[in-house]
Amino acid sequence: PSRISSRIRRIKPSPSSAAADRFAELRREGRDIVNLAIGEPDFDTPAHIRQAGCEAIERGETRYTPVAGTFALREAIAAKLERENGLRYGPREIIVTCGAKHALFNALSVTVEAGHEVIVPAPFWVSYPDMVLACDGTPVIVTCREEDDFRLTPEALEAAITPATRWLVFNSPTNPTGTTYTEAQLRALADVLLRHPQVMVLTDDIYEHICFDDAPPRHLLAIEPALRERTLVVNGVSKTYAMTGWRIGYAAGPSDIIAALDMLQSQSTSGVSSVSQAAAVVALNAEPAFLPEWVATYRLRRDTAVRMLNAIPGIRARAPGGAFYLYPHCGGLIGKRTPAGKVLETDNDVVIHLLEAGGVMVLAGTAYGVSPHFRMSTATSAQQIEEGCRRIAAAVAQLR
Ligand code: PLP
């Protein structure tokens, strides 16, 4: 019998972390691999934010902070939510966490019990279903269609809700598809949610600023304030400010949930790094002058990748509204044979062929809940993206 708990035995390692490990291993072996599996901005944390971290160290801000985060950071988060999202939260309705990931995991931990269902639209960020499982809940996967740009429709949401539904996890722009929603689409989802008061809403807004739509929609909660008492807003500085390693995320929501999160953190991790919190204050309070250029860069890369992928027979790519991923369909490659005689039966086989024969790393759609697809990141240079697409084309050309 295993001495590992059944809760933990239900979950599996994150495939993106596994891909990062595999990439490092191939590099050590001296192989030249174009890595298009990356889930973080390739930009450096802007200088004024790095400086703020250094200054915090020099000022001696190196001690424990309040469990929920420094008052300065919670104030900066409150100001951000009001300024950018039109949402008003007081300091007792906000908690700082070790990345958005920690906020999501802890939110499920303090609210989900065996028998509770959590709706996760697919394609999904790989961690959601496993987080639900680790909290004894049941993930209810709702498959969104490529024809709908992988958007959750009100009909599909309505059909998935049961009396046991605890949460809807809502991520837009979405990882791995880059899907965004219009205000009318958000309004229609809100109308469904209003009919089911037992359903709470966990919004994962981590990619909100990486949005190519001309007029980014307002927040779901700004569109329907009546959901406020049952919504937890999760966000962080990782993607917007290229601060993935600083590990600063946060949750804003009803005070009972925030108090439970505070209690859990007080008995587990305590407050997050004081130095990172000081840097995040500056990140959130300063004008993000660098951001328009970053977003324009992501957009150009997206356009290049979509054009090059669509020129490859057997692959079909849509141009997403946000984030830095593409989720191309690769059904045209299924059933084809590699030079070694292996038949590609799944998107996982496709991805292995692209890696082994093409020297380009992408992630198989299987992990994201909708196949046959792969996730390709555009968080790398245009040259790498072009070279990666050329390698995909060459690997595909070998198939019979
Ligand atoms: N949510 C989504 C959809 C993500 O893609 C990621 C990171 O890949 C996260 C949350 C985690 O962000 P953080 O670095 O703040 O933990």
Ligand 1 centroid – CA 341 distance (Å): 39
* Ligand 1 atom nearest to CA at 101: 16
Does residue 272 line the site of ligand 1, with CB under 6 A?
no
3-state helix/strand/coil string of 67-93: CCCCHHHHHHHHHHHHHHHCCCCCHHH
Ligand 1, pocket-test mutation among 239, 277, 378, most atoms within 8 A of CB: 239
Which CATH number does 47-285 carry?
3.40.640.10
Does residue 388 line the site of ligand 1, with CB under 6 A?
no
Please identify which residue in the block is written with the tokens 């093409």. 358
Distances (CA, A) of 383 to 75, 108, 241: 41, 40, 23
Exposed / middle / buried, residue 363 (Cβ in 10 Å: 0-12, 13-18, 19+): buried
How does pLDDT run along the chain (400 residues), one tens digit per residue?
899 999 899 998 877 777 778 888 888 999 999 999 998 999 999 999 999 999 999 999 999 999 999 999 999 999 999 999 999 999 999 999 999 999 999 999 999 999 999 999 999 999 999 999 999 999 999 999 999 999 999 999 999 999 999 999 999 999 999 999 999 999 999 999 999 999 999 999 999 999 998 888 899 999 999 999 999 999 999 999 999 999 999 999 999 999 999 999 999 999 999 999 999 999 999 999 999 999 999 999 999 999 999 999 999 999 999 999 999 999 999 999 999 999 999 999 999 999 999 999 999 999 999 999 999 999 999 999 999 999 999 999 999 9
Ligand 1 centroid – CA 206 distance (Å): 6
Q: Do domains 6-44+290-397 and 47-285 have the same CATH topology?
A: no
What pLDDT does 217 receive? 86
Q: Tell me if ipTM is over 0.95.
A: yes
Whole-structure pTM value: 0.96
Q: Is the dihedral of CA 134, 379, 209, 187 positive or negative?
A: negative
**What tokens does 197 get?**
């008061």
54 contact partners, CB below 8 Å, separation of at least 6: none
Q: How far apart are CA 277 and CA 66, in angstroms?
A: 11
13-39 core/surface letters (b: 16 or more CB in 10 A; e: else):
ebbbeebbebbeebeeeeeebbbbbbb
Instruction: State the CATH architecture for 6-44+290-397.
Output: Alpha-Beta Complex (3.90)
Diameter of the chain measured on Cα atoms: 64
Among protein residues, the one with the nearest Cα to ligand 1's atom 8 is 39
Contact in structure between 324 and 377 (CB atoms under 8 Å)? yes
Domain map of the chain by residue range?
Answer: 6-44+290-397, 47-285
Q: How far apart are CA 163 and CA 194, in angstroms?
A: 14
What pLDDT does 313 receive? 97
Phi/psi at 311 (5° precision): -85, -5
Per DSSP, 142 falls in state: E
Ligand 1 centroid – CA 393 distance (Å): 30
* Ligand 1 atom nearest to CA at 204: 1
